[in-house]
């Protein structure tokens, strides 16, 4: 995709996208049925698929990443978040018919989105904020295709029951998880991290990794570094040491900076 063609459009849409009032149909990559933007890798052989399920009012933050992944031969799918992903309660023991119908629609959207791509594995899903619990619920219920890896960004529910559910689900997941957090001084962040450490240790999940977000402008490179260490992206000969990672006890990989997670 030619950057000169889509950056002016992005500039016009940043403000309305941030408020959820943008017309996504202005993008030629918009697919109305699953309600997403599909940036095709445009390569003869697609290396993988990265599907983003963003937090409400956050999709504009992800658009600039599309070209980065296209250049590496990956399809890039950006879902349009639904307001109800924050309105409904994912841990409700007796979900309303409206919530059940909504969740079924999200499963259908995901399945349609993934059916539209012809890429071979890996399929990597990145869930931001409240999307994480819904995605894990769909996976645990067998309603959506299981990814080859899951990446979380600031997925820190405040309710204790939601924290427990997400921690248990992640620890039992059959795929590797990269858990990225942007803040370390927030009570909810710290509570979620503690619960996940406990569950990961209890389940002996060796492929869970927690990282502090270096900077939003470097997010794609941070994700790429993790994928390189898993063998899903080629590691350049000049790659710095931080891309190679350091694995510690309980399978949790930490930053080389000892103060980064405190």
- The alpha carbon dihedral of 61, 64, 70, 71 has a sign of negative
**Helix (H/G/I), strand (E/B), else coil: 76:** strand
Cα separation, 5 vs 7, whole angstroms: 6
Return d(Cα 177, Cα 193) in angstroms, integer: 13
Q: What is the pLDDT of residue 118?
A: 63
pLDDT of residue 82: 84
The pTM (predicted TM-score) of the whole model is: 0.83
Position 257 scores a pLDDT of 41
Taking the CB of residue 3, how many other CB atoms lie within 10 A of it?
11
- Helix boundaries (H) for the chain: 3-18, 66-70, 84-87, 97-115, 131-140, 160-172, 187-203, 219-229
Question: How many Cα atoms within 13 Å fall on the side-chain side of residue 118?
Answer: 7
DSSP string computed for 190-256: HHHHHHHHHHHHHHT-TTEEEEE---GGGHHHHHHHHHHHTTSSPPPTT--GGGT--B-GGG-B--S
Tokens of 178: 């990269």
Is the Cβ–Cβ distance between 51 and 115 less than 8 Å?
Answer: no
Q: What span, in angstroms and rounded, lies between the C-alpha atoms of 109 and 92?
A: 22
How many whole angstroms separate alpha carbon 11 and alpha carbon 220?
A: 20
For domain 28-251, the CATH architecture is 3-Layer(aba) Sandwich (3.40)
User: pLDDT tens digits for the chain (262 residues)?
Assistant: 455 454 544 444 444 444 445 567 777 888 887 888 999 887 778 899 999 999 987 767 788 899 999 999 999 999 988 888 888 999 999 999 999 999 999 999 999 988 866 666 799 999 999 999 999 999 999 999 999 999 999 999 999 999 999 999 999 999 999 999 987 778 999 999 999 999 999 999 999 999 999 888 899 999 999 999 999 998 777 766 665 554 333 344 444 343 444 3
Please, is 108 exposed, middle or buried when counting C-beta atoms within 10 Å of its C-beta (0-12, 13-18, 19+)? middle
């Amino acid at each position: 995709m030619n950057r000169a063609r889509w950056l002016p459009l992005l500039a016009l849409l940043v403000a309305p996208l941030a408020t959820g009032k943008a017309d996504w149909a202005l993008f030629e990559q918009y697919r109305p049925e699953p309600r997403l933007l599909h940036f095709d890798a445009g390569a003869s052989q697609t290396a993988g698929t990265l599907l983003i399920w963003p937090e409400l009012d956050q999709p504009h933050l992800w658009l600039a990443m599309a070209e980065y992944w296209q250049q590496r031969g990956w399809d890039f799918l950006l879902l349009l978040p639904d307001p109800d992903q924050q309105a409904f309660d994912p841990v409700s023991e007796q979900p309303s018919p409206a919530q059940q119908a909504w969740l079924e629609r999200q499963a259908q959207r995901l399945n349609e989105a993934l059916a539209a791509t012809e890429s071979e594995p890996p399929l990597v899903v990145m869930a931001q904020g409240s999307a994480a619990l819904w995605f894990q619920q769909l996976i645990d219920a067998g309603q959506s295709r299981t990814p080859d890896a899951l990446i979380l960004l600031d997925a820190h529910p405040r309710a204790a029951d939601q924290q427990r559910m997400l921690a248990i689900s992640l620890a039992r997941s059959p795929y590797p998880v990269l858990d990225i957090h942007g803040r370390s001084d927030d009570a909810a962040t710290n509570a979620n991290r503690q619960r996940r450490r406990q569950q990961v240790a209890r389940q002996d999940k060796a492929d869970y990794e927690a990282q502090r977000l270096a900077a939003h402008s470097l997010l794609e490179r941070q994700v790429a570094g993790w994928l390189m260490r898993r063998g899903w992206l080629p590691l350049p000969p000049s790659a710095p040491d931080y891309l190679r990672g350091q694995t510690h006890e309980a399978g949790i990989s930490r930053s080389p900076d000892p103060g980064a997670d405190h």
